[in-house]
Amino acid sequence: MTLFGAPIENIYLTLLIIAGGLTVLYLFFGDVLEGIGEAVGFLNPVLILSFITFFAATGYILEFVTPLHSMIIAAIAIVLAFILDTLMNVFILIPLSSAEESLSYTEESLRGKVGKIIIPIPKDGFGEIVIESKFGMISKPATGIENEAIAEGMQVLVLKVEKGVLYVEPYDYNGLDAL
């Protein structure tokens, strides 16, 4: 079958190449287009490009593999592209968008956190503190805010951070967690 004077296989292949090229460009310049995706929620550029890619790839393969009529192949390609696009959205894009938080942290975000001394801090010296977070355990060098000695196993409060060192003081919460 021909469409616009060209074989339908060539049209599928051209669509596939264009959608693939736009996908690569979107990888590099996707942040610019994120506003479009947020303004119109259901017209996400990723979903549009993937639909075109799935449609063109399915149509191209089916034209060579099956003896079906081109209109039936186009209908099958549309249905399959819609199903694959929906699955990709539900199982990949939606979970990724809800997992926006990074697993990284800034040292300034440690201010106000409560940790536990794992290497005792000597007077005018350095030890090590471990802070539990929802992302795991963070271990950092620490010293007393007033250069006091702090024993291993004590709970401490991080007051400030300078040059990667946490300045802490002993912290006794006296059961405030029970509130």
The mean pLDDT of 19-38, rounded to a whole number, is: 75
**pLDDT reading at 134 higher than 80:** no
Tell me 109's DSSP state. G
Q: How far apart are CA 39 and CA 43, in angstroms?
A: 9
10 membership: H or E segment, kind and range: helix 8-39
Query: Do residues 51 and 32 both lie within one domain?
Result: yes
pLDDT at 55: 94
Query: Do residues 79 and 11 both lie within one domain?
Result: yes
Query: Do residues 88 and 14 both lie within one domain?
Result: yes
Query: Do residues 79 and 152 both lie within one domain?
Result: no
For every residue of 20-82, DSSP letters joined together read HHHHHHHHHHHHHHHHHHHHSTT--HHHHHHHHHHHHHHHHHHHHH----HHHHHHHHHHHHH
178: in domain: no
Q: Check residue 5 and give left, alpha or beta (phi > 0: left; psi -120 to 50: alpha).
A: left
Strands 127-133 and 136-144: antiparallel
Q: Which of 66, 98, 130 is the last residue of a domain?
A: 98
- Name, in order, each residue with C-beta under 8 angstroms of 171's C-beta and a sequence gap of 6 or more: 114, 155, 156, 157
pLDDT in tens, 35-70: 655 665 556 778 888 899 999 999 999 998 999 999
138: in domain: yes
Query: Do residues 80 and 132 both lie within one domain?
Result: no
Query: Do residues 112 and 94 both lie within one domain?
Result: no
pLDDT at 38: 60
Q: How far apart are CA 18 and CA 40, in angstroms?
A: 23
CATH number at residue 147: 2.40.50.140
Number of domain units in the chain: 2
Confidence tier at 178 by pLDDT (50, 70, 90): very low
Query: Do residues 94 and 120 both lie within one domain?
Result: no
Q: Which of 51, 71, 98 is the last residue of a domain?
A: 98
Question: pLDDT higher for 11 or 27?
Answer: 11
Query: Do residues 93 and 114 both lie within one domain?
Result: no
The mean pLDDT of 169-178, rounded to a whole number, is: 68
**pLDDT reading at 33 higher than 50:** yes
Query: Do residues 91 and 112 both lie within one domain?
Result: no
**pLDDT reading at 179 higher than 50:** no
pLDDT at 19: 92
* Mean pLDDT taken over the chain: 82
**The model's pTM:** 0.54
Q: Check residue 116 and give left, alpha or beta (phi > 0: left; psi -120 to 50: alpha).
A: beta
Confidence tier at 17 by pLDDT (50, 70, 90): very high
179: in domain: no
Question: pLDDT higher for 98 or 171?
Answer: 171
Q: How far apart are CA 33 and CA 116, in angstroms?
A: 45
The mean pLDDT of 16-43, rounded to a whole number, is: 74
Q: Give CA 13 to chain center in angstroms.
A: 32
Query: Do residues 64 and 136 both lie within one domain?
Result: no
Range of the domain at 74: 2-98
Query: Do residues 122 and 62 both lie within one domain?
Result: no
